[in-house]
Amino acid sequence: MSYTESIGSRTYRFADLKTVLAKASPQRSGDQLAGIAAASEEERVAAKMALAQVPLRTFLNEPLIPYETDEVTRLIIDDHSPQAFAQISHLTVGDFRNWLLSTATDTDALTRVTQGLTPEMVAAVSKLMRNQDLITAARKRPVITRFRNTVGLPGRMSVRLQPNHPTDDVKGIAASMLDGLMYGCGDALIGINPASDNLTAITKLLQMIDDFRQRYQVPTQSCVLTHVTSTIAAIEKGAPVDLVFQSIAGTEQANASFGISLALLQEAYEAGLSLKRGTVGSNLMYFETGQGSALSADAHFGVDQQTCEARAYAVARKFKPFLVNTVVGFIGPEYLYDGKQITRAGLEDHFCGKLLGVPMGCDICYTNHAEADQDDMDNLLTLLGVAGINFIMGVPGADDVMLNYQSTSFHDALYVRDVLGLRRAPEFEEWLESMQIIDERGALIGASARQPLLEGARDWMGIA
C-alpha cells in the first residue's frame, strides 16, 4: 500500500509503510548511510503527516519484513494480544500519540495495552514525538523486575557496575569492583565484558564475584557478558551463573550474525532457570541492543534503524528479562553521528522499550571518533533520569579501558541520584546502610567508616 501527502503544491509519495517510517525518522546518519532517509526536512515533515494518519491496525496487516521469512516478525504477530489491543485498535498513530500524552492515560492504562502493542506501533508514534513527549510517556510506564533485588521501582535508579579489564586480570577487576561498591554502585548487577570467551577465564571471574557476594552477603547479581553458548557451557560445568547475557537485534538475519536464534535463547533461558539462583524473583536474562546493529550486519531489509531496534525489544520481552540495555552510542558515528542524534536515540529506545513492557536501561556512551563529548552524556543522563530509566552504567572514570569507549562513571550516578532524588534498589540500599557505606538518606558516609570493609576485602582478594 502506498502513502501520499501534500505540502503546498508538492506531493510526496511513499511506496510502502516501511518507507513512510524511514522518511519520518529524525535525522540519523545510519539511515542516510542505508539510503532510506528523507532527502529534505520538507519530505520528513510530509512523511510524519502521512504516518500520523496510519491506523494502528495497519501494522498488523502490513508486516515490514515478511512473516514467512523472519522469525522475529512471526514472534511479533503470533504473540500479539487482540484483547489488549482492543482499547486502542480504533486509533491512528497520531491519535495514539495524543492518547499516550493524555493525563487520563496512567500507568494502569499503559500496562493494560502492553501486550497489544507491536514494536512497529511504538516506533511509529515515537517519530511524531518531541523529546519531552518521549520522557513524559515513558515516565508513566515503570517496568519492575526481580532476581536478588528489585529493579525499576518508581523513584529508584540502579547501576550496572562494569569493572572491565583489557586482560581479564582478576585482581584488576576486583579492584574496580570494590571501587564501585564503595560509591554505592552495583545494584543492577556486577557485569564484566570479558576480553575473551575462554571458558576457564569466564568461570574464574564468575567464581570471584560469587565468592565475594556470599562472603559479604551482597544482594545483587553477577554476569560475565560472553556469548550465550559459552554461558550454557559454563552452566553445564557448574559455574555460579546468575544472569544469562546475549546481544540481540530486530531481524532473524541480524540475530544470525550474532550466532543466535529464538530457539537458542529459549535453551539458555531454561538453563538459567534450572539453577534457581534468584531469591526474590526469577527474571534472569540480560540483553543488550543498539541502533544500527541490523544495518551493520546488512540485515535491515530497508527498515530504519530505530524501528529495527524496537523489534529487538519484542525478542527481549519473550524471555522476561531482568535487564535490557541499549548501548546507545557504542556502534559509532556511522549510525548516530553526534550528541544530538545519540540523545534522541537514547530517549526513543527507553520510550519504546518501556511501552513494550521491557525493563530498559541505557549505556549512555559514545566513541571517541563521534561528534560528542561528556557534556552530551550529562544531558542524556539527566533526561533519562527524569524519564525513569531502570539503570545506567558505572565505569571507573567513565572510560572503559577494555572496550575503548566513554560511558558514565560512579560519580555520575551520585550526581543524578542527588539532583533527582533517586534511590537505589531497596534490598541493596539496606545492605549499603548495614555496611556503613551510605546513611539513611542514601548519601555516602565518610571514607573512615568504609575503611574496615575496604581493607578486609582487599586483604581477602590479595589486592595491594
* Edge-to-edge order in the sheet of strand 222-224: 222-224, 189-192, 158-161, 391-394
pLDDT above 70 coverage of the chain, percent: 98
Cβ proximity of 182 and 437 under 8 Å: yes
Q: What is the pLDDT of residues 10-53, one digit of tens each?
A: 999 999 999 999 999 999 999 999 999 999 999 999 999 999 99
Distance, in Å, from the CA atom of 85 to the CA atom of 439, rounded to the nearest integer, reads 46
Check pLDDT > 70 for residue 449: no
Residue 60 CB coordination number (10 Å): 18
Check pLDDT > 90 for residue 377: yes
Check pLDDT > 80 for residue 228: yes
Cell of 409: 562513571
Cβ proximity of 49 and 24 under 8 Å: no
Distance, in Å, from the CA atom of 438 to the CA atom of 184, rounded to the nearest integer, reads 7
Check pLDDT > 90 for residue 259: yes
Check pLDDT > 70 for residue 138: yes
The CA-atom distances, in angstroms, between 90 and each of 106, 299, 400 are 19, 32, 48
Check pLDDT > 90 for residue 455: no
Q: What pLDDT is recorded for position 464?
A: 58
Place of cell 532473524: 252
Cell of 305: 534503524
Q: What is the pLDDT of residues 326-346, one digit of tens each?
A: 999 999 999 999 999 999 999
Angle between helices 305-318 and 119-126 (to 10 degrees): 140
Q: What pLDDT is recorded for position 169?
A: 93
Q: What pLDDT is recorded for position 322?
A: 98
Residue 10 CB coordination number (10 Å): 10
Check pLDDT > 80 for residue 458: no
Q: What is the pLDDT of residues 383-430, one digit of tens each?
A: 999 999 999 999 999 999 999 999 999 999 999 999 999 999 999 999
Cβ proximity of 306 and 297 under 8 Å: no
Q: Would you place residue 1 in the very low, low, confident or very high pLDDT band (cuts 50, 70, 90)?
A: confident
Range of weakest confidence among 118-122, 125-129, 295-299, 452-456: 452-456
Distance, in Å, from the CA atom of 22 to the CA atom of 20, rounded to the nearest integer, reads 6
Burial class for 335, CB neighbours closer than 10 Å (0-12, 13-18, 19+): buried
Range of weakest confidence among 53-57, 194-198, 341-345: 194-198
Q: What pLDDT is recorded for position 451?
A: 73
Cell of 180: 564501585
